[in-house]
Homo-oligomer: A and B are copies of this chain.
Amino acid sequence: MSTTPARRPGGRSAKVRDAVYTAVGQLMGEGKADRITIPLLANRAGVNPTSIYRRWGDLDTLLEEVAVAALTKDGDDLPDTGSLRGDLSAWARIVIDDITQPRRTRYLRAMTSARDEVLTCPCWEQRRTQAKVMLDRARARGEQAPTEQQVLDHVIAPMYHHVVFGLAADRDYADQLVHDVITMA
C-alpha cells in the first residue's frame, strides 16, 4: 500500500494473507466461529500453521484484523432521498441488514473479544463520516439536524448493541431509532 523499505508485500505474502482471510470468512460462514483454531485455519487456507503464528502471533489478532477489513469495506453508496428522515431511514436499514448477517455478527463479536483499550476504530469512523455527509446535506437544505454524535449514539449504537448481544433487531427497529433521533433535533 505504501513505500515500505524492507518489507515485501509482493505477490506471495499477499497470496497467503488473502488465503487466510478467505478461510476465516468461510469458517465464520459455516458457523464454526468459536471453534476456529490456527491449525484448522491454516489447513483450510492451504497454508502452513507456522506462517500464521509468525505473522499474527495469536488468533485474536488475526480475527480482529479480518473483522475490521470486512466491516469497513462498504460498497453501499449513501442514500439521497431529499429529506434527512428519508436518508437516515434508508441508511439505517442498510446498516441493520448488513450487521444482522450471521457472518457479520460474528465479526463484530470477534472484535469485542480482541479489543483492549482502543479508543477509536475504523468502523465507527466510517459510520461517522457517512452520517456527516447526510447531516451536512440536510443543514444545507435548512433542515433541523441532530449532531453526528447523536446519530452514532442513538441510531448506530443501539443497533450494534442489539446485534452483538443477540437481541432482536430488524428494519422496524431501525426506523424507530431514526424517528427518535429526528425528534431530538
Measured CB to CB, the residues of A under 8 A from B are: 34, 60, 109-113, 115-121, 124, 150, 153-154, 157-158, 160-162, 164-168, 176-177, 180, 183-184
Contact = CB atoms under 8 A, between A and B. Distances in A.
Label chain A's interface by main secondary structure: helix
Contacts of A34: 60, 113
A177 B153 contact: yes
A166 B113 CA distance: 10
Given A157-B161, A158-B161, 15 more contacts: A34-B60, A109-B113, A112-B164, A112-B165, A115-B164, A116-B166, A117-B166, A119-B168, A120-B167, A153-B154, A153-B180, A154-B180, A157-B158, A158-B158, A164-B164
27 contacts: A109-B113, A110-B113, A111-B165, A112-B113, A112-B164, A112-B165, A113-B113, A115-B164, A115-B165, A115-B166, A117-B166, A118-B166, A119-B166, A119-B168, A121-B165, A124-B165, A153-B158, A153-B177, A154-B158, A157-B158, A157-B161, A157-B162, A158-B161, A160-B165, A180-B184, A183-B183, A183-B184
